[in-house]
Amino acid sequence: MERVPILKIGDILLVSIQLDMSDQTAVQLQDDLAERIVATGCHGVIIDITALDIVDSFVGRMLSTIASISKVLDAETVVVGMRPAVAITLVELGLSLNGIRTALNVERGMELIAAARADELEYQLDDDPDAETAIP
Amino acid sequence: MALNAEESGRLAALLGGHAEQVTARWTEIVTGSLRGRLSQAELRRQVQDLHRAIVASGEQGAIDLSAENSAELRAALSELSRGRARQGFSATETTISVFALKDVLAELLQDGGGANALHDYIAFSKLVDELGLFTFESFVRTRESLIADQAEQLLELSTPVVKLWEGVVAVPLVGTLDSARAQVVMERLLQTLVDTGSPYAIIDITGVPAVDTQVAQHILKTVVAARLMGADCIISGIRPQIAQTIVALGIEFGDIATKASLADALRHVLRLTGVETARRQPRRDI
């Protein structure tokens, strides 16, 4: 059975989908990704769908599921590289991939995750002084 | 419909024999109908071309418009109708140039047609009818191709995607937005987003005369598609009347940013991308 490779780049896991997804492959990818997020402690997942000609409701649902799983494990998911034709088809079908972040390319996706991560850290740092003053 | 060889010969002889008289009278009749919109000299040249073509094919034997040896005659008629169509003449004004030949023939036969003048006139006028129909057809064909060309040019001209800033593209929409145009605009915009890697797009609707639910639907679809690809869209150039129409129709733009002018939209995007815009201090001369 074919498997989708998961690459680790710094704090981010990169998944590049190059083949037509079947039920088996999709389930396998979800399992693998969940394991890798826990094992590596990454905080970002980028799913690259540049090579996909067709994104139907099945692939759409798979992307949503992956985003939800990652969210539970405290990782931000960004779908990158959607083709214009695919976007038009999805809109015509009425699928809007709710709850999934998108970016034009991998580079932008990494920036997006870095920005989201920075916001979160800033928020935590802002909280810290208050916590310290509260303790004594 | 076609003339037989004998009739054709007689027609060629009749027209060829009175060449000066025929072309002069023919030009005179056509001039009257065109009301001076074409110069006398040019009209005379066209009539002479036609006259020469008819005589030439008549001398070669039976005139049959669809036959091989009438190629020159067909070319002359096409040339005439193409020219008229491009200059904006009406169908009547074009075909009358051919039908005028009937009057000329009638006068000629009346003066000295001999015993079978009536028979000849009926045969000749059938031929003229055929020539007229052919002219009319090629006139229509020319006009149709003109319209098709213009429609294509319009589609190309009216949908440019321009780069406003690093990472910001704009689509100034001009004219009514129907399904076909909306599709072209959407495809071009999305392709440009991919090509330039711009995360922001501004759709300017200053040039759209009216926004109804269908046009709004097209714009919304474009925005959603751009979002799916990871780019954000801002709608700008909403005129007061358009804003009222949008509210009256109950169109919801949701969380899509809308701005009154293109300048406001650009400023909004620049603020989002973190570009500082500051007024430069006026230079002071010492």
Give DSSP secondary structure letters for B135-163. Answer: HHHHHHHHHHHHHHHHHHHHHHHT---EE
- The per-residue pLDDT of chain A, averaged, comes to 85
The Cα–Cα gap between B99 and B245 comes to 54
The Cα–Cα gap between A130 and A109 comes to 33
For the beta carbon of residue B59, count every other beta carbon within 10 angstroms: 14
Residue of chain B minimizing CA distance to A111: B199
- Is the whole model's pTM more than 0.80, yes or no? no
List chain B residues with CB under 8 Å of A96.
Answer: 224, 227-228
What percent of chain B is modeled with pLDDT above 90?
15
Task: Give the nearest partner residue to B224 out of A78, A91, A107, using CB atoms.
Answer: A91
With an 8 Å Cβ cutoff, are A104 and B227 in contact? Answer: no
What are the beta bridge partners of residue B172? B204
Torsion of CA A115, A118, A120, A126, to 10 degrees: -140
Q: Is the pLDDT reported for residue B153 higher than 70?
A: yes
With an 8 Å Cβ cutoff, are A83 and B199 in contact? Answer: no
The Cα–Cα gap between B50 and B46 comes to 6
List chain A residues with CB under 8 Å of B193.
Answer: 84, 104
pLDDT band, very low/low/confident/very high, at A79 (cuts 50, 70, 90) = very high
Interface test with A, best of B169, B229, B232, B255 (most A CBs within 10 A): B229
**Number of CB pairs, chain A paired with chain B, less than 8 A apart:** 57
For residues B213-237, give the mean pLDDT: 89
pLDDT value at residue B225: 92
For residues B13-24, give the mean pLDDT: 82
ipTM of the complex: 0.73
Q: Are B27 and B44 in contact (CB under 8 A)?
A: yes
Q: Are A122 and B228 in contact (CB under 8 A)?
A: no
Tell me the CA distances in angstroms from A98 to A110, B50, B80, B256, B263, one per residue in order.
20, 71, 63, 15, 31
Domains of chain A are 6-134 (3.30.750.24)
Distance of CA B45 to the CA centre of its chain: 27
List chain A residues with CB under 8 Å of B217.
Answer: none
pLDDT value at residue B88: 82
Is A44 or B20 the better-scoring residue by pLDDT?
A44
Domains of chain B are 5-152 (1.10.490.130), 162-273 (3.30.750.24)
List chain B residues with CB under 8 Å of A92.
Answer: 221
The Cα–Cα gap between B57 and B80 comes to 17
